[in-house]
A = this chain, B = another copy of it.
Amino acid sequence: MNKENLIKLYRDMQLIRRFEEEVDKCAKKGIIPGFIHLSIGQEAAQAGMCHVLKKTDFKYPDHRGHGAIVLCGTEPKLVMAEIFGKKTGINGGRGGSMHINDLKCGNLGFNGIQGSTQVTALGTAFASVYKNNDAVSVIFMGDGTLGEGACHESINMAATWKLPIIYCLINNQYAISTHYHEAHPQKELKTWGEGYEVPSFRIDGNDVEAVVAAAEIAVQRARDGMGPTLLELMSYRWQGHFSGDPAAYRPDEEVAYWKAKDPLKITKERLLNLHGVSENDLLVIEQEVELIIKDAVEFSISSPEPDEQDGLLYVYADMEVQ
């Protein structure tokens, strides 16, 4: 990968990291309502996948999807304000952390029921075929979500009809407290995709270059009408399932091992050692990101709460709820 792209990806990952860290802080301060799933540690998987996508593609970030969401194209401050439940949020505060959509840039991160976007994506992918355009549909999902029956119905239909779908399975090895080997029979989850004769690859999900390379193949196959691809991106969430979860179910060494495999650190080292980028160049990027995040948090805090009656909007196309 060339330097410019890798720098851009470093910036993307930095944006995710800092976004999530601030969300975490604000959640712990109690100024974000509800519960929050953070993607710290999984930046490379999200950034690498988003890197190869167009605005017109359909992206389905999941509950741990803030990272992919801020890279889809929505202004980070509008995402942050949504997480805060503010009127200025991209969905007017109706959705919150688990439901952040922005159709303008193909962000369909709306569903809190695991497995649901798997079958919804059949529809956006089907529409690409129906309308004969080149948009692909990318489902972000976790290892645990693979338990849902909807995953089977989805890949079965996608593979049969050769729909342009990418199953971007970020295997962070746990579903809440349950290790994927306790919930699934396969040594590698990619084996599941092979059962449908779907090209399936296990990739180091913390190596953003490896992710981009695999994602490019998958997206090209989809655009070429060759059907779905399953990418199993191995990664880890540094925190517990939700902000505040002590995650006592994971061995300390495991956490330490994965923190050492920090996707940002890996990329930074490559930039410094292989691409002749200076610490200072990166500092500039980090500061630029810092401004965005600071702005997002301030914007969110200072934004007004929604009107209580806003919750009554948009139920029917042609009727008002009283």
Query: A: which residues have CB within 8 A of B?
Result: 146-153, 156, 159-160, 182-187, 191-198
Contacts and interface: CB of A to CB of B under 8 A. Distances in A.
Contacts of A197: 185-187, 191
B159 A148 contact: no
Contacts of A156: 146-147, 183-185
A198 B160 CA distance: 22
A191 B182 contact: no
Contacts of A195: 186, 191-196
A160 B180 CA distance: 10
Given A148-B153, A151-B152, A191-B195, 13 more contacts: A147-B156, A149-B151, A159-B185, A160-B182, A160-B184, A160-B185, A185-B196, A185-B197, A191-B194, A191-B196, A194-B194, A195-B195, A195-B196
Nearest to A227: B185
How many copies make up the complex? Answer: 2
Nearest to A196: B185
Nearest to A149: B149
A185 B160 CA distance: 4
A235 to B, nearest CB: 22
Contact of A147 (B153, B186, B187): B153
A120 to B, nearest CB: 14
Contacts of A182: 160
A197 B186 CA distance: 6
Nearest to A193: B195
A183 to B, nearest CB: 6
A225 to B, nearest CB: 15
Give the top 3 A-B pairs by smallest Cβ distance, nearest first.
A195-B195, A149-B149, A152-B152
A115 to B, nearest CB: 8
A146 B182 CA distance: 24
Nearest to A151: B152
